[in-house]
Structure 1
């Protein structure tokens, strides 16, 4: 299975292409990636990238490349993922440099969340967020997610935000 194409008002969530890897790797090599497992070497980023895509075949969900519909510019990624070391299915997002502050992460993550709740058998979804990642905490809260103080996280440092079906 490959990622289905989702449309929002301004964005297209689509299967990743090989052209997405260079900007993806550049993001994960940067200091901005410290809150999402980086910085990573290009080789490590390739393994992350392939994992994000392979989850579609393995689980029926995974990562989408996010692009601006009006001009096709690649903005980042949104993903539903559940690797074996994650206690629960996670909704995650990253935006490349220069695309923050426009509501793109909230719009893309909201579309992915809604797709997950409509298409996956288990209506449970969390976001694991570093306490230092105030931008992603704000995105989770704008999506209506609430901090879950008792949920298990993949790391003792991660905060858990629980998503609910959109009203």
Structure 2
């Protein structure tokens, strides 16, 4: 199984690993970080099962989560993922779903965009998907703006686990390159 490492100007994205557990537990215990995602900090048990799920995605689907670290010094920044969650949501999500999250100390410095662009470039080159999707709380304005900056467009408001969410879509592969060149796109 090919679990690629991605490198950007400032970041290295490595497939999630058991060695990331301590950093993940600290991230998911942060109430500011989880506010728009789970609505509450996660327990160590929940983080463990999340890590197992993320590890399994690589073996089952051939894509998954990357741990984001600074190239200089190796500090843990967060993660970016391409996942198949099989969410119980209407409309169903049948395409690869992207998600991302950065520790609050690293937000607002362009790291999320840099990591997301690397993951999307990998997805465009390696997945045979007509589109990728993401699901964002309408209150998470920073993530909404980031999604739109990298080419996602809103297509449906719905609810997930009794909370309002906005679904976004972005054409994949060659479709993305064509959309990017259209006047007013991006």
TM-score normalised over the length of structure 1: 0.90
Structure 1: tracts of 5 or more residues without a match? none
Does 2:106 match 1:99?
A: yes
Instruction: Structure 2: give runs of 5+ residues left out of the alignment.
Output: 181-186
Worse overlay, 28-37 or 96-105 = 28-37
Q: Are residues 1:131 and 2:142 paired?
A: no
Structure 2 equivalent of residue 33 of structure 1: 34
TM-align CA RMSD: 1.9
Q: State the alpha-carbon separation in 1 of the partners of residues 14 and 98 from structure 2.
A: 16
Q: How does 1:63-74 map to 2 (within 5 A)?
A: 63-74=65-76
Structure with the greater alpha carbon radius of gyration: 2
Aligned length: 166
Return the alpha-carbon distance in structure 2 between the equivalents of residues 98 and 142 of structure 1: 21
SS of the residue corresponding to residue 164 of structure 2 reads coil
Q: Is the 8 A contact 2:155 2:167 kept in 1?
A: yes
2:21–2:48 Cα contact (<8 Å) kept: yes
Structure with more strand by fraction: 2
Question: C-alpha displacement at 1:153, in angstroms?
Answer: 6.8
